[in-house]
Amino acid sequence: MKQLQDKFSAGEAWTWPGQSKWRGREVCPHIHQVSRASLAAECIKLKLRPGRPSCERQVRPRCVDLSGFVCIMHGDNAPMERELLQSLTDFLSFRGPDGQNFWIDGSLGMGHSLLRTTHESKKEQQPLGLEERYSIVADARLDAREELIALLPSAGLEARSTAPDCELILRAYAAWGEACVHHLSGDFSFVVWDKKQKKLFCARDHFGSKPFYYASVGSQLVLSNTLDCVRRHPVVSDRLNDLAIADFLLFDRILEPGATSFADIRRLPPAHTLVYEEGNISVRRFWTLPVLRATSKLSTARCGKCGAKPAARCAALTITRDVVRSKKGASPRSQ
């Protein structure tokens, strides 16, 4: 570890001649002998990242191309603190300069900072309610709106063609419940409150274009699409997740899908839903990339012709042979 400190303090890249390489860089022989937590602590102390030749910290500019939302739930039915919810909503003003608003219902509070990005959002206001039962805060930009609007009458609901995206999501939930995500297409992250069932339903889009973070500390649940907003809640500590930071320093990414750099804060993975009901949190995947699903089935199946090799390998060999044959028999291009 002393050798690691000396290299970092000198501002040199993380290289050791004669040692094994990882991603084109030399790797310290002590990496596999030191725990990830200890390595992360040393790197954090020096504010450095492996392989980076400079000791300067790089700060990325904040992303402001999305609306901001926050939702707080007290599982012990304690009343919502109005000042706290308002302060978190005001903090999100850098997300959406077109309006801030918040709403309280007993032990639940929702806040939203709006950025208008579509023609349908000209008259949009959030938090939005429906039938005095459902409420939503969202950052969403839906595709295939016409198809979704056409499907709603079959479930006994209707929507205007000029309805904002958040209203379409809320009506879809009123029509199909948790299965509404199978009818949504586009970029979205949202929180829906079902007052009758006392349930929070949250979802993140298929590829994770919209962020979603949450923290469950004691009886309180905090949800937002902004990490710093969750951190500002007083029950959320600044305690770091050493393993997640070590993963990022070593592999340029956090290996655990739902982990963040902070121990109390989780990230909802893409194509997942989160349900909070009676103090319990359940996270489920609602969609898998079709190509990966098909490949996983082929990898375990046996070929119907030879019966000995996995079907995926036989399919790959068949495609390769067809390509080679077509190239051999192809006529030269006309000049």
Instruction: Say whether pLDDT at 38 is over 60.
Output: no
pTM above 0.85, yes or no: no
Looking up tokens 């390595």 gives 39
Mean pLDDT, residues 234-255 taken together: 93
- The token pair that represents 281 in the structure block: 């949190």
Q: Any idea what DSSP says for residue 255?
A: S
Instruction: Say whether pLDDT at 4 is over 70.
Output: no
- Among 117, 163, 111, 173, which residue's Cα sits nearest to residue 140? 117
Q: Lowest-pLDDT range, 47-51, 64-68, 145-149, 288-292?
A: 47-51
DSSP assignment of 193-229, as one string?
EETTTTEEEEEE-TT--S--EEEEETTEEEEES-HHH
Q: Which residues contact 106 (CB under 8 A, 6 or more apart)?
A: 77, 79, 80
User: Please, are residues 271 and 204 in contact by the beta-carbon 8 Å criterion?
Assistant: yes
Instruction: Say whether pLDDT at 86 is over 70.
Output: yes
User: Please, are residues 262 and 240 in contact by the beta-carbon 8 Å criterion?
Assistant: yes
Instruction: Say whether pLDDT at 304 is over 90.
Output: no
Domains of the chain (ranges; CATH) run 2-46 (no CATH), 68-285 (3.60.20.10), 293-325 (no CATH)
- Among 187, 128, 203, which residue's Cα sits nearest to residue 163? 128
pLDDT digit string (tens) for 168-186? 999 999 999 999 999 999 9
- The token pair that represents 306 in the structure block: 């030879």
Instruction: Say whether pLDDT at 11 is over 80.
Output: no
Which amino acid, residue 224? S
- The token pair that represents 171 in the structure block: 């009506």
CA distances in angstroms from 24 to 4, 5, 180, listed in the order given: 18, 21, 45
Q: How far apart are CA 50 and CA 32, in angstroms?
A: 15
pLDDT digit string (tens) for 96-105? 889 999 999 9
- The token pair that represents 295 in the structure block: 């490949």
Q: Which residues contact 38 (CB under 8 A, 6 or more apart)?
A: 1
